[in-house]
Amino acid sequence: MDFITRRIITSLVVFFAAINLDFILPRFIPGNVADAFVSKPISGNEYQLIVHRLGLDLPPQLQYVHFLEGIFTNLPPFFGYSYQYFPQEVSALILSRIGWTLLLLVSSLLIAIAISFVVGALASMKRGGKLEYSSMYVSVLAWSTPAFFLGLALIWIFGVTFKVLPQFGTVSDNIVGLGPYVSSVIQHAILPVATMTSVIYGQSFLILRGSTIQVLGSDYITAARARGLRERTIAFKYVLRNSLLPLVSLSGYAVAYIISILVAVEFVFAYGGIGDLMVDGIIFRDYPVIEGCFFYITLIVIILAFIGDLALLKLDPTLRK
Amino acid sequence: MQNKKSKLDNPILKSISTILFKKTTSKIGTILIVLFLALIFIGPFVIPYGPTQYTPDRYSPPSLAHPLGTDNLGHDVLSQVVYGAYPSLIVALLSSIGGALIGLFAGVLGGYYTRAEGFVSGAADIIVTFPPLPLLILVGMISPNIGNLIIIALIAVLWAPVGRAVRSQVLSVRKRPFVDAAKASGMSDLKIVMKIMIPETASIAFAYFILDVAVAIIIVTALEFLGVGNPNQVSWGSMFYWGEQFAFPAGAWWWVLAPGVSILIVAMSLALIGFSIEEALNPRLRTQ
């Protein structure tokens, strides 16, 4: 089996496993899912009606068929209605917010990877130098700081004490015009993006460092030095390209962890993406929303990991057969 | 150089104790974690307040009576940090031990027996694609008493990276001449696995175990912070849960700072130890 077939099969298995977990896990909840649907006591008749409406009086195998039908015969997939935002559909709710999550995720990924590349390459130019030590300690610090704590600290410093940046939300209300809108979005994104950048930097720099040092020991680097190439050329052209490989090949796992942390960070900043929506679902016991968020978050990881695999295929010729 | 390398190339668990105290980074980590463990072991005997005991001082900033201040109900924050360490640490320890053991077993199995290879690496590839926190939220919604469920779910997630690392180590050990020699001398597969493969890869699993404790602490506190589980049980996560709601309006920064810095100290000292072990196992990572 070649590399890319293997990855496609893995992605498909993860996709179907996520859907099945979405069906199975909430059915372990003691009592009835309908209990969560209403907040006040209701009569037996009303209860029966709700149970019937949600299809919970059907045998499990029929419920399963209906569940799969809802997901595969609708676009966007049908995950039922949100309890909290009834009668909104879960998918519509998620799709209206997914853009904010992607904005945070992609911008912090790009910034963090750019920083760790430049620092990694510069640090590799002088082994045992001050930059190598300090950047390593900074990344260990970033690796071990819980993101939600860092987020709260940043809100405390910049939002509460100095009042230079907004404390929460994605964009201010009552904004007219594109310019002010964009600047408000950027202002709101600075702190969450800074928090996520620190998390991703802590993850990626340590992987990158390991591979950079491995590459530095290779013969072709010695050969390049012997040919009299400048250290900077070697660092940015030779070392970086080759040390990319392990980073990209670990990207799937790293993205799964990073997006997990993003859920907590969105909650800290009340940033209206799907992470924040999912945490709202915990508080209101809104199971359809939690199921839907889990599905879409896993889908994001699958897609990003697959993009990483394609990049890996391009970078590493030995994987092509 | 060659001599030194071959010595480090062949590590067994015994050498870990030398790593812990020889390198500066791991020395700092070891000292920090020992001090912290001493604090939470001795704390309950020394601190005059229980973690849920009300005192008349509400929102009191750090003082002599309350070194880390008090929260909105007058609970002593130091006492909460000390008692609250146990739930998070126990869940993190048990799940990391389980993850490392299963990962070691699966990795050796998948690396040594060609028949198991596809299954083990396939399963690991699938597991690492699941986002752990959303998965745990889904699992944690099942019931408020989630301790055991969370441990099982964390083990199901944590074994996979260990299994991958152990497997690739087994693949490289398998190529060495002494394995062929052992086979030629009539050693059974089971004996080779028990006598060579597991000792050769145990230290990698150990490095992962140390780092996973830190990862698990961060994930578990995040989970409690988000309101999964029982927020009335005193833990670092529940301190964040209540602190996030009440500390900000009251300006009680000490309430959130204490559990945050505690997690940071524990995670950082474990990271320093874990990365040092990894470095010792892979000599090319060493800073010169």
Partners of A147 on chain B (C-beta within 8 Å) are 222
Residue to substitute from B2, B28, B133, B148, interface A, most A β-carbons within 10 A: B133
Residue A151 pLDDT: 94
pLDDT at A252 over 50: yes
Check the CA dihedral A230-A233-A236-A241 and report its sign: negative
Residue A105 pLDDT: 93
- Taking each helix axis from N to C end, the angle separating A287-315 and B132-140, rounded to the nearest 10 degrees, works out to 160
A291-300 confidence digits (pLDDT tens): 999 999 999 9
Residue B8 pLDDT: 43
Residue B2 pLDDT: 40
Answer whether B265's CB lies under 8 Å from B36's CB.
Answer: yes
pLDDT at B126 over 70: yes
Supply the DSSP symbol for B282. Answer: S
Residues for chain B: how many in total?
Answer: 288
- Quick check: A10 and B268 CB within 8 A? no
User: In sequence order, what are the residues at sequence separation of 6 or more whose Cβ sits closer than 8 angstroms to the Cβ of residue B118?
Assistant: none
- From B270's Cα to the closest Cα of chain A, the distance in A is 9
Residue located via tokens 């028949």:
B115
- Quick check: B129 and A298 CB within 8 A? yes
Which is more confident, A3 or B218? B218
Partners of B128 on chain A (C-beta within 8 Å) are 252-253, 256
Residue B37 pLDDT: 93
CA distance B155 to A246: 25
Q: Compute the count of residue pairs across chains A and B with CB atoms less than 8 Å apart.
A: 155
Answer whether B212's CB lies under 8 Å from B102's CB.
Answer: no
ipTM of the complex: 0.88
- Quick check: A127 and B287 CB within 8 A? yes
Which of A124-138, A236-250, A266-280, B129-143 ranks highest by mean pLDDT?
A: A266-280
Q: What share of chain A is helix, strand, coil (3-state, %, to 5)?
A: 75, 0, 25
Which is more confident, B123 or B276? B123
Residue A321 pLDDT: 59
Mean pLDDT estimate for chain A: 84
Answer whether A74's CB lies under 8 Å from A295's CB.
Answer: no
CA distance B204 to B282: 10
Residue B13 pLDDT: 52
Answer whether A89's CB lies under 8 Å from A81's CB.
Answer: yes
B52-102 confidence digits (pLDDT tens): 777 777 777 787 777 777 777 778 888 889 999 999 899 999 999 999 999
Q: What is the pTM of this model?
A: 0.88
pLDDT at A215 over 50: yes
Residue to substitute from A221, A253, A294, interface B, most B β-carbons within 10 A: A253
Over residues A249-265, mean pLDDT: 84
Partners of A312 on chain B (C-beta within 8 Å) are none
Answer whether B144's CB lies under 8 Å from B228's CB.
Answer: no
Instruction: Report the residue of chain B nearest A16, measured CA to CA.
Output: B126
pLDDT at A99 over 70: yes
Determine which of A45-59, A140-154, A206-220, A222-236 has the lowest per-residue pLDDT on average: A206-220
Residue to substitute from B23, B28, B129, B159, interface A, most A β-carbons within 10 A: B129
Cα distances from A235 to residues A122, A136, A224, A232, in angstroms, run 7, 17, 11, 5
Partners of A10 on chain B (C-beta within 8 Å) are 122, 125-126, 129
Which of A30-34, B105-109, B187-191 ranks highest by mean pLDDT?
A: B105-109
Which is more confident, B233 or B251? B233
